């Protein structure tokens, strides 16, 4: 196959600086891609320039956002806005983090537009493990930021006479595992060394799996003892919170809440979808820390219970806090995915008998995913 590739910028909040690295452009060149169109300014917020990409391939060129969207394959980490999606021609492939399960409206629009989408976050191996992910960065970046907030809100944070800090992690999956590892180290190995040198007691981490979170008596007792609450759950029913807003009132006043699941609020569905911890704002790379008096709370949907508040952290993309490190990971991980897309027509992708990556990519293709998840 001879397919062109577009690499558009993400026109999101100012803090969103991620772009694929020149190594991916070099990979596409070696794969025989006849043309790669990068948006003007691509990579510049991360300290790269056009020469870095042009050195990677003489088939790379720069153009407008629309030029990038007009190519056979469009690759971008975050899903473009609806207006941009309408510039992608029917039959073209969109490779992006599309989050099918929690964005039903997006799924319907992509199908309506005839875009052959492949959701990066749905590309999994035969055992359900994601092949394009940076869960370690989700856990560490979020936990690090939350400990910084806790250090300012808990007066005895670095007092050698205090009790151990108590962290409660909800969920024990891929994100939860990294959150636990980060929490035991304050999210910052240098800070941990400083605390050890001062003989400050460390961190006690309790993991509560989703199957226990329904027990109100247990959860209220747990929350009363929690300095730092982490939501790393993957809920089967996103219309039901793990921690209703009423329960937040049981947390100590200095407590910090960290949202690592980052499920969205969506009141366009019936029933509405809510966050795992009810009443905390949706953050992004421009603002991911929300103190109880933050004006963002006044802009929440009035149907949402948000009376009980603590310092809360939520970010649409925790890996993006350190964009260059994030894209080092993603640029390597999407190479075998793009190889499948570029080497065989979509109709030929075999989710059962194909190669390891062909099976994974086929399962993440929009029409096959919809068929597999039809109710």
For the chain, what is the radius of gyration of the CA atoms?
22
Residue with tokens 């100012």: 14
| Burial of 237 from C-beta contacts in 10 A (0-12 / 13-18 / 19+) | exposed
Residue with tokens 């941009």: 84
What's the CA dihedral at 119, 259, 129, 180 to 10 degrees?
160
Written as six digits, the tokens of 35 are 């043309």
Q: Cβ distance 180 to 143 under 8 Å?
A: no
State the pLDDT at residue 2. Answer: 87
Same domain flag for 180 and 292 = yes
Same domain flag for 120 and 174 = no
Same domain flag for 353 and 263 = no
- Which residue intervals of 184-256 are DSSP H helices? 189-197, 216-224, 245-248
CB atoms within 10 A of CB 66: 13
Same domain flag for 55 and 105 = yes
Domain endpoint, select from 320, 338, 360: 320
SS3 of the chain: helix, strand, coil, percent, to 5:
40, 15, 45
Same domain flag for 366 and 308 = no
Cα–Cα distance for residue pair 24/97, rounded to 1 Å: 17
Q: Cβ distance 43 to 60 under 8 Å?
A: no
State the pLDDT at residue 269. Answer: 87
Cα–Cα distance for residue pair 359/194, rounded to 1 Å: 47
* CATH code where residue 282 lies: 3.40.50.720
Same domain flag for 105 and 214 = no
Q: Cβ distance 143 to 182 under 8 Å?
A: yes
Cα–Cα distance for residue pair 104/108, rounded to 1 Å: 6
| Residues 6+ positions from 36 with CB-CB distance below 8 Å | 4, 5, 6, 7, 25, 28, 29, 57, 59, 60, 61
The number of folded domains in the chain is: 2
Q: Phi/psi class of residue 27: alpha, beta or left (left: φ > 0; alpha: ψ in -120 to 50)?
A: alpha
Same domain flag for 35 and 73 = yes
Query: How would you write the pLDDT of the chain (375 residues) with one tens digit per residue?
Result: 689 999 999 999 999 999 999 999 999 999 999 999 999 999 999 999 999 999 999 999 999 999 999 999 999 999 999 999 999 999 999 999 999 998 999 999 999 999 999 999 999 999 999 999 999 999 999 999 999 999 999 999 999 999 999 999 999 999 999 999 999 999 999 999 999 999 999 999 999 988 899 999 999 999 999 999 999 998 989 999 999 999 999 999 999 999 999 899 999 888 999 999 999 999 999 999 999 999 999 999 999 999 999 999 999 999 999 999 999 999 999 999 999 999 999 999 999 999 999 999 999 999 999 999 986
Comparing CA positions, the residue from 289, 363, 247 lying closest to residue 141 is: 289
Q: What does DSSP assign to residue 128?
A: S
Comparing CA positions, the residue from 143, 127, 123 lying closest to residue 315 is: 143
Q: What does DSSP assign to residue 225?
A: T
Strand, helix or coil for residue 238: coil
Comparing CA positions, the residue from 373, 366, 374 lying closest to residue 123 is: 366
Same domain flag for 174 and 310 = yes
Same domain flag for 128 and 156 = no
Strand, helix or coil for residue 331: helix
Same domain flag for 66 and 142 = no
State the pLDDT at residue 375. Answer: 65
Same domain flag for 316 and 335 = no
Same domain flag for 116 and 188 = no
* Structural domain boundaries, residue 311: 135-320
| Residues 6+ positions from 14 with CB-CB distance below 8 Å | 285, 286
Q: Where are the beta strands (DSSP E) in the chain?
A: 5-7, 36-39, 60-63, 73-78, 93-97, 116-119, 165-170, 203-208, 228-231, 256-259, 289-290, 311-314
Alpha-carbon distance values, 16 to 13, 86, 282, 284 (Å)? 6, 22, 15, 8
């Amino acid at each position: 196959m001879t397919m062109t590739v577009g690499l558009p910028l993400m026109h999101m909040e100012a803090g969103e600086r991620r772009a694929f690295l020149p190594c991916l452009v070099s990979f596409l060149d070696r794969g025989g891609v006849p043309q790669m169109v990068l948006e003007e300014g691509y990579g510049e917020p991360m300290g790269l320039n056009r020469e870095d990409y042009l050195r990677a391939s003489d088939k790379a060129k720069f153009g407008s956002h629309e030029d990038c969207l007009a190519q056979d394959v469009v690759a971008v980490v975050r899903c473009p806005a609806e207006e941009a999606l309408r510039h992608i021609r029917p039959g073209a492939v969109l490779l992006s983090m599309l989050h099918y399960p929690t964005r039903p409206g997006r799924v319907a629009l992509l199908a309506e537009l005839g875009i052959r989408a492949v959701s990066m976050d749905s590309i999994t191996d035969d055992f359900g493990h994601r092949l394009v992910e940076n869960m370690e960065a989700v856990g560490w970046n979020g936990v690090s930021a939350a400990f910084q907030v806790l250090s300012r809100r808990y007066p005895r944070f670095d007092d050698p006479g205090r009790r151990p800090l108590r962290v409660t992690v909800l969920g024990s999956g891929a994100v939860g595992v990294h959150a636990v590892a980060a929490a035991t180290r304050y999210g910052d190995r240098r800070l941990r060394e400083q605390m050890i040198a001062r003989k400050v007691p460390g961190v006690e981490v309790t993991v509560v799996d989703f199957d226990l979170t329904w027990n109100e008596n247990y959860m209220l007792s747990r929350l009363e003892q929690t300095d730092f609450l982490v939501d790393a759950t993957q809920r089967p029913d996103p219309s039901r919170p793990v921690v209703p807003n009423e329960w937040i009132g049981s947390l100590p006043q200095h407590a910090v809440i960290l949202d690592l699941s980052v499920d969205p609020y969506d009141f366009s569905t019936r029933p509405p979808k809510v966050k795992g911890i009810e009443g905390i704002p949706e953050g992004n790379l421009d603002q991911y820390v929300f103190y109880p008096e933050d004006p963002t709370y006044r802009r929440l949907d009035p149907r949402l219970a948000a009376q009980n508040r603590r310092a809360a952290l939520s970010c649409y993309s925790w890996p993006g806090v350190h964009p260059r490190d994030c894209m080092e990971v993603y640029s390597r991980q999407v190479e075998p995915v793009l190889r499948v897309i570029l080497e065989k027509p979509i109709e030929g992708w075999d989710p059962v008998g194909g190669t390891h990556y062909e099976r994974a990519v086929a399962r993440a293709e929009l029409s096959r995913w919809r068929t597999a998840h039809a109710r």
